[in-house]
Structure 1
Amino acid sequence: MTTVTMERTPAVSAPAEVPAARSIDLEFSTAEEVHAGLEEAVAELIEVAAQEASCGILVTRLHPGRYTVALDESVPFGETYEAIAA
C-alpha cells in the first residue's frame, strides 16, 4: 500500500487555477514501491520547477518507507539532491 499526501500552496489567482504541488509526502510499505514512487514524484516536481526556474528538488528520507520530495531553494535549478533526516 502506498500513501501519498500532497501539500499545495494557496491559490492567489483565479479560483479555476489549481496551484502546482511544491511538496509531496510519500509512504511505502515495501522496498519495491520506493523506486517507482520516488521517480514519479520527482518527475511531477520537475515540471513545476521548470516553470519557476528558481530551485531544484530535495528528496528527504524521514524514516524507512517515509519520504518527502519538495522544491527547495537551497538546491540549484536543474538538480535533485537527496538527504536523510536525522
Structure 2
Amino acid sequence: MTTSTLERQEIRLSFSSVDEVHAGLDSAVATLIEAAAENGRFGILVTRHEPGTYTVALDESVPFGQTREIVAA
C-alpha cells in the first residue's frame, strides 16, 4: 500500500494487493473521522478511481457523521 500525506483533508491511497484494501481504507477513514469531528461540518467520501486507487476525503456534500462511497466513472 502506498499513501500520501494528508493534504486539504484528503488521503490518496494505492494498493498493490486486494488484501490491503479493507484495512487501508479503514485506517484512512479513522484518520478523517478525527478531522471531521474537529470541524463538525463535513462527512467523509470514499472514491474508487480505478482498481487499487482510492481517495478518502472530507466532503461538504456528505452530511456530518456519515461516510459515503462512490466509484468514479
**How far did residue 75 of structure 1 move?**
0.1
Give the TM-score normalised by structure 2.
0.96
Flag structure 1 segments of 5+ consecutive residues without an equivalent. Answer: 10-21
RMSD: 0.8
Q: Percent of aligned pairs with the same residue?
A: 59
**How far did residue 5 of structure 1 move?**
1.0
What residue is the counterpart of 1:45 in the other structure? 32
Q: Which has the higher helix share?
A: 2
What residue is the counterpart of 1:32 in the other structure? 19
How many residue pairs align between the two structures? 73
What residue is the counterpart of 1:81 in the other structure? 68
The yes-or-no answer on 1:54 pairing with 2:41 is: yes
Flag structure 2 segments of 5+ consecutive residues without an equivalent. Answer: none
Bigger relative contact order (CA 8 A; separation at least 6): 2
